[in-house]
């Protein structure tokens, strides 16, 4: 199997990403995936518990300048109810995601994390001790103390995408922050012992293949144990309304390179990779797990809030937690992979 020395530099990665035929790279990524993380596809239940956000990320429908969006914040009871239903349906990870909403102080979220960690995943395995769900937090940039409190409360993972490794593009897209600050947060999370996840969007204005090379190398530098990589999807209610969507094929290529660079990482098939045209979906459904991904996130946000968590326009299906999970398990098995 071919090894790619050019993956050491952003220019080398850019050259590889631009190859006419990517088949060999996909094959290598899939082989590495099989040898490192195996055939298991981890299913994660994501609860989008608040769309209130103090930031102004220009690509995102939740940004505070979007006055057309009806805002919501789930109560503690609603969050725990959704989590309990997901856990009893068999999910072993609950992902808590929100805009940057200061109502959720470190203490309030810590209390929710602790309650979720006490839940028990039903299992047919004859284990001596009960299986408690893992908790992933994805609530943006906070101070080190908040991150520490959540870790002590039992949080296992933290997802905070760096979005783009080009500081100039980062500044244009984020009037409220800097790439330096974001990377600092990621390094703190990693030091605190979180399974740390970053990631980026493919197809941002001004981005080049070299930028994607920098993005991929940054994942390794942080160092990340998870990476969410997906196409940018234009949201008509944002300043990037007229921008074309990112290329899903390029996003798949970036996921494959991420698998080669970070062999052991958890790589989700990002939601934005599944919000695609029917034609694209059909292409992906040839085998959506053939390029290195080993994680799928499924929304379990209650229907009455789901539509309002509109990062980008997407088709909204009714949430049927147990039924959706069974359907996903069937799909994963049909590709010869093992849902967990
Ligand atoms: N506030 C948290 C944060 O910033 O990490 C979590 C919520 S944020 C909405 C989750 C992710 O949505 C971001 O990391 C970003 O990559 C993604 N996102 C936002 N707008 C997007 C768009 N238009 N296309 C694709 N992904 C987008």
Instruction: Indicate the domain borders of the chain.
Output: 5-339
Rounded-to-integer distance, Cα 177 and Cα 55, Å: 9
Q: Domain 5-339, what architecture?
A: Alpha-Beta Barrel (3.20)
Instruction: For residue 97, give the ligand 1 atom closest to its CA.
Output: 6
Phi, psi (5° rounding) for residue 88? -70, -20
Could you tell me the distance, in angstroms and rounded to a whole number, from the CA of residue 2 to the centre of ligand 1? Answer: 35
Side-chain-side CA neighbours of 122 within 13 Å: the count stands at 8
Give 35 Cα–ligand 1 centroid separation in angstroms.
31
pLDDT of residue 271: 57
Kindly list the protein residues whose Cβ atom lies closer than 6 A to any atom of ligand 1. Answer: 59-60, 62, 97, 99-100, 138-140, 160-161, 163, 201, 232-233, 235, 272, 311-312
User: By alpha-carbon position, which residue is closest to atom 19 of ligand 1?
Assistant: 60
pLDDT at 290: 84
Angle at 319 between CA 318 and CA 320, to 5 degrees: 110
Given the CA of residue 62, which atom of ligand 1 is nearest to it?
9
Cα of 291 vs centre of ligand 1, distance in Å, is: 22
Question: What ligand 1 atom has the least distance to the C-alpha of 233?
Answer: 24
Q: How many angstroms is it from 311 CA to the middle of ligand 1?
A: 7
Local confidence pLDDT in tens for the 340 residues of the chain? 567 888 999 999 999 999 999 999 999 999 999 999 999 999 999 999 999 999 999 999 999 999 999 999 999 999 999 999 999 999 999 999 999 999 999 999 999 999 999 999 998 776 678 899 999 999 999 999 999 999 999 999 999 999 999 999 999 999 999 999 999 999 999 999 999 999 999 999 999 999 999 999 999 999 999 999 999 999 999 999 999 999 999 999 999 999 999 999 999 986 555 544 444 544 544 677 888 999 999 999 999 999 999 999 888 788 899 999 999 899 889 888 999 9
Helical (H) or strand (E) element with 192: none
């Amino acid at each position: 199997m071919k090894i790619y020395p050019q993956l050491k530099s952003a220019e080398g990665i850019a050259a590889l990403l631009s190859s006419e035929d990517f088949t060999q790279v996909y094959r290598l990524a899939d082989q590495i995936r099989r040898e490192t993380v195996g055939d298991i596809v981890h299913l994660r239940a994501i609860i989008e518990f608040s769309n209130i956000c103090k930031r102004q990320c220009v690509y995102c429908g939740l940004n505070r300048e979007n006055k057309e969006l009806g805002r919501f914040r789930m109560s503690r009871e609603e969050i725990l109810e959704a989590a309990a239903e997901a856990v009893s349906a068999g999910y072993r990870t609950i992902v808590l995601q929100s805009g940057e909403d200061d109502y959720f102080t470190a203490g309030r979220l810590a209390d929710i994390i602790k309650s979720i960690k006490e839940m028990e995943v039903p299992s047919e395995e004859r284990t001596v001790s009960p299986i408690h769900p893992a908790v992933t937090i994805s609530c943006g940039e906070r101070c080190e103390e908040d991150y520490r409190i959540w870790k002590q409360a039992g949080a296992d993972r933290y997802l905070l995408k760096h979005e783009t490794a080009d500081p100039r593009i980062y500044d244009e897209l984020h009037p409220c922050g800097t790439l330096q600050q974001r990377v600092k947060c990621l390094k703190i999370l990693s030091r605190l012992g979180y399974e740390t996840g970053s990631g980026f969007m493919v197809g941002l204005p001004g981005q080049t293949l070299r930028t994607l090379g920098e993005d991929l190398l940054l994942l390794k530098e942080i160092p990340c144990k998870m990476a969410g990589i997906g196409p940018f999807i234009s949201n008509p209610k944002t300043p990037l309304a007229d921008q074309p969507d990112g290329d899903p094929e390029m996003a798949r290529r970036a996921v494959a390179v991420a698998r080669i660079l970070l062999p052991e990482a958890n790589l989700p098939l990002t939601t934005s990779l599944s919000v695609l045209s029917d034609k694209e979906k059909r292409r992906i459904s040839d085998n959506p797990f053939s390029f290195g991904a080993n994680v799928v996130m499924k929304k379990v946000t209650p229907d009455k809030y789901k539509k309002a968590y509109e990062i980008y326009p997407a088709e909204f299906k009714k949430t049927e937690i147990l039924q959706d999970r069974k359907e996903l398990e069937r799909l994963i098995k049909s590709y010869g992979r093992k849902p967990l």
